[in-house]
Chains A and B, each alone.
Chain A
Amino acid sequence: MSTATKDHAALSDIFNADEARVNWHDDTLWFVRAKRDKAAHTLPEWERLRDTASQIKDNVLSNLHDYLLQFESNAQHNGITVHWAADAAAHNRIVHEILNDNGIRQLIKSKSMLTEECHLNEYLKEQGVDVIDTDLGERIVQLAEEPPSHIVLPCIHKKKEEIGTLFHEHLGTPEGMSDPVFLTAAARLHLREKFMTRRAAITGVNFAVAETGEFVVCTNEGNADMGAHLADVHIACMGIEKIIPQRTHLSVFLRLLARSATGQPITTYSSHFSKPRPGQQMHIILVDNGRTTQLGREDFRNSLKCIRCGACMNTCPVYRRSGGHSYHTAIAGPIGSILAPNLDMKKYADLPFASTLCGSCTNVCPVKINIHEQLYKWRQVIVKEGYASPAKTIAMKTMDFTLSHPAVYQKAGKAGRWFLKHIPFAVNNRMNAWYKQRDMPEPPKQSFREWFKENNTMQKNNSDE
């Protein structure tokens, strides 16, 4: 399905054609949100942890330049080769060059949302390099030739029966087999062979520690470790905002990350990589790709605090009922909706509007990004930059005129008449969109104003007319 020309609303409409599936998707992710709540409530200091994490990230964003150089210097001292990439294309090129230098045409990759953002898999495929994703969820969507729909739970949109069919087609499991234990065992065997034979492994980076030059990769499956420990060449890809000043700060972030993401007290594997083992090459690519632009946007720089836990997606009532693919960007949900317009404002102009601004995302965010406020602010920027439709602009100007002129409003607004034509939430007179599945409020005999005019003589308080 091509998602290039459809916006979030249109894609959500398609997703909602199967209501039972929407219910299942919503329940599945709500279950994760509930687990997160339970885990958070076991720590009385939870809100203080969030404050602390947010403040550490404030420090990072204000001193990013220095921390990156400190990290580079320490990493190099440890024997890690450090690369700098200004954008996605540079990042992909660097990966390809490292592979070429080592004569490698096949590699394995553990979960890295940065490589999704940079479309590394597609790029390498074009260069004739074979990539196997080793995170189970990522492998499933890779077999399905789909992007991940969630940053922590890449195939959360897929039912086990659908995974069974995919595995039957690609891995030769028995037809109709959808037992998760059986399917996981099949994936294990399939991936084990890849771990053993592939000479290069790409991993993401959850945290890079400036004071030590080490980086930390968190997985539940141990797949990053199996890949990196067996490969001759380890390439770690990270966005420059992933830096933290000191190792001790991990004690804040690691406690927040897994609890926020899945409700676990800690991720199964939090692996520290500080230097290559003898004979191994270890590379780290520090990628900007729009991050310094975002850092320069005062209202939006806080979005760079994100530690990619996915809690905002799990709690988002819109995400749960529209699915990750409806956001048509690598990072879906509320956080994706404030990151994507920075990369391409025209292409992602719809995303800040794909929210009711309920604010639940902001409340679960472990680093206290004011996500819903940034969604509101992006709306203002997008309109000002000219990405609102002309019809919407005219409708808004008409509305503003009426609502700024009481005489016009009162004349137009006799008991709901004006509203039924120009109801503020029904831009472009799209009344059909309201009426399709909802009844209109019945216009009363009198508006409150009319009632008040008739009755205020009986009240002890008069109007100030």
Chain B
Amino acid sequence: MTVGLFIPCYVDQFYPNAAIATLKLLQRLNVDVHYPMNQTCCGQPMANSGFEHLTAGCNNLFIDNFSQFDYVVSPSGSCVLHLKDHLHSATEETKARGIRKKIYELTEFLTDVLEVKSLTARFPHKVGVHQSCHGQRGLKLAQMTELVDQPFSKPLQLLNMVEDLELVPLTRPDECCGFGGTFCVIEEAVSVKMGKDRVADHISNGAQYITAADMSCLMHMEGILKRQNSQVRVLHIAEILNAQEQ
């Protein structure tokens, strides 16, 4: 089984540790991971701004980089959802369809494909889990509070395998953080207010770390935490699942 690792552009540029943790975690689970060097972006920034018609170049590049693998895995629910919903190609539609079916967000790949039952990880801290909307409501990584259905959570299933990790409950377990791509600057006031409220929920419930399966939400919340001089840190879930603190 070969896996193509897709590291979203902003993770590559700003959060290499999340990417390194993802790579190492997959390697420790004996996955044959490949990182195609010519990858860039999923095209979502353009598409969510209404410019999906401009994403042909991005899409074809993505297809060139990733169609050869059995699976494509990425540590970002939002980018994965975008590709699942919108990766198309005028010339390579069969390959595009193939990728739409074989692309997985990291945590769902671990729980559903690798069927991971245990991890060697220790993270003795209080952690609040931010349910990133595109992962949760789009990829259905966890049950949603709006629906009348059985609870489940793929990220929590994995975090529960981490030794000495203490999960903190939230007052609003799945409210959006307000990042929203270009929304964060176009609608600056509401975006920041949403972020402040999310961060406050984690802090008031005693979180030392906020984690998520999406770095973009965390980047937004980190920006707010830092501005508040808060000691609370953000960490991508891969960094916690790969943590070996003694």
A-to-B contact residues, CB < 8 Å: 8-9, 12-13, 15-16, 19, 22, 26, 30, 37, 40-41, 43-44, 46-47, 315, 317-318, 321-322, 353-360, 362-364, 376, 379-380, 382-384, 388, 392-393, 396-397, 399-406, 409, 413, 415-416, 418-419, 423-427, 430, 433-434, 436-444, 446-453, 456, 459-465
Instruction: Find the B residue at minimum CB distance from A431.
Output: B185
**Judging by beta carbons under 8 Å apart, are A9 and B187 in contact?**
yes
**6 A-B pairs closest in CB distance:** A404-B57, A356-B180, A438-B223, A424-B45, A383-B50, A363-B146
Residues of B with C-beta under 8 A to A443: 13-14
Asked if A448 meets B49 with Cβ closer than 8 Å, knowing A459-B27, A461-B34, the reply is: no
Mark interface residues in B147-179 (1 if CB within 8 Å of A CB, else 0). 111000000000000000000000010111011
Question: Which of B13, B32, B41, B147 is most buried by chain A, counting CB atoms within 10 A of its CB?
Answer: B13
Q: Can you report 29 residue pairs joining A to B where beta carbons are below 8 Å apart?
A: A9-B188, A15-B189, A37-B145, A40-B148, A317-B194, A322-B187, A322-B190, A359-B137, A360-B175, A380-B51, A383-B49, A400-B57, A403-B58, A404-B40, A404-B58, A404-B61, A409-B41, A424-B9, A425-B45, A426-B185, A433-B188, A438-B226, A441-B219, A444-B15, A444-B17, A448-B12, A448-B19, A456-B35, A464-B35
B38 in the interface, Cβ–Cβ < 8 Å?
yes
**Judging by beta carbons under 8 Å apart, are A9 and B189 in contact?**
yes
**Judging by beta carbons under 8 Å apart, are B58 and A416 in contact?**
no
Residues of B with C-beta under 8 A to A401: 57
**Judging by beta carbons under 8 Å apart, are B147 and A415 in contact?**
no
**Judging by beta carbons under 8 Å apart, are B146 and A360 in contact?**
yes
Shortest distance in angstroms between A357's beta carbon and chain B's nearest beta carbon? 7
**Judging by beta carbons under 8 Å apart, are A12 and B187 in contact?**
yes
Shortest distance in angstroms between A257's beta carbon and chain B's nearest beta carbon? 17
Cα–Cα, bound, A460→B12 (Å):
21
**Judging by beta carbons under 8 Å apart, are B188 and A451 in contact?**
no
**Judging by beta carbons under 8 Å apart, are A357 and B52 in contact?**
no
B48 in the interface, Cβ–Cβ < 8 Å?
yes
Range for the number of chain B residues in contact with chain A: 35 or more
Residues of B with C-beta under 8 A to A26: 197
B181 in the interface, Cβ–Cβ < 8 Å?
yes
Shortest distance in angstroms between B153's beta carbon and chain A's nearest beta carbon? 16
**Judging by beta carbons under 8 Å apart, are B187 and A318 in contact?**
yes
**Judging by beta carbons under 8 Å apart, are B190 and A360 in contact?**
no
Cα–Cα, bound, A268→B35 (Å):
61
Residues of B with C-beta under 8 A to A427: 49, 182, 185-186
**Judging by beta carbons under 8 Å apart, are A449 and B37 in contact?**
yes
Asked if A41 meets B193 with Cβ closer than 8 Å, knowing A380-B53, A443-B14, the reply is: no
Cα–Cα, bound, A403→B68 (Å):
21
Residues of A with C-beta under 8 A to B14: 416, 419, 441-444
When A and B form their complex, what is the total count of cross-chain residue pairs whose Cβ atoms lie within 8 Å?
Answer: 264
**Judging by beta carbons under 8 Å apart, are A438 and B224 in contact?**
yes
**Judging by beta carbons under 8 Å apart, are A384 and B53 in contact?**
yes
B144 in the interface, Cβ–Cβ < 8 Å?
yes
**Judging by beta carbons under 8 Å apart, are B145 and A434 in contact?**
no
**Judging by beta carbons under 8 Å apart, are A321 and B194 in contact?**
yes
Instruction: Find the B residue at minimum CB distance from A444.
Output: B16
Instruction: Find the B residue at minimum CB distance from A424.
Output: B45
B1-60 residues at the A interface, CB under 8 angstroms: 7, 9-17, 19-20, 23, 27, 32-41, 43, 45-55, 57-58, 60
Instruction: Find the A residue at minimum CB distance from B227.
Output: A439
Cα–Cα, bound, A416→B11 (Å):
10
Residues of A with C-beta under 8 A to B191: 356
Q: Contacting B192 at CB < 8 Å: which of A356, A399, A437?
A: A437
B222 in the interface, Cβ–Cβ < 8 Å?
yes
Residues of A with C-beta under 8 A to B224: 437-438
With A425-B185, A439-B223, A452-B35 given, can you name 14 additional A-B contacts, CB distance below 8 Å?
A: A9-B190, A12-B187, A22-B193, A317-B194, A321-B197, A382-B50, A396-B49, A399-B45, A403-B57, A409-B40, A425-B45, A444-B16, A449-B12, A450-B16
Shortest distance in angstroms between A46's beta carbon and chain B's nearest beta carbon? 4
Residues of B with C-beta under 8 A to A380: 47, 50-53
Cα–Cα, bound, A322→B189 (Å):
9
Q: Contacting B146 at CB < 8 Å: which of A30, A37, A446, A461?
A: A37
B195 in the interface, Cβ–Cβ < 8 Å?
yes
Residues of A with C-beta under 8 A to B88: none
Cα–Cα, bound, A14→B13 (Å):
34
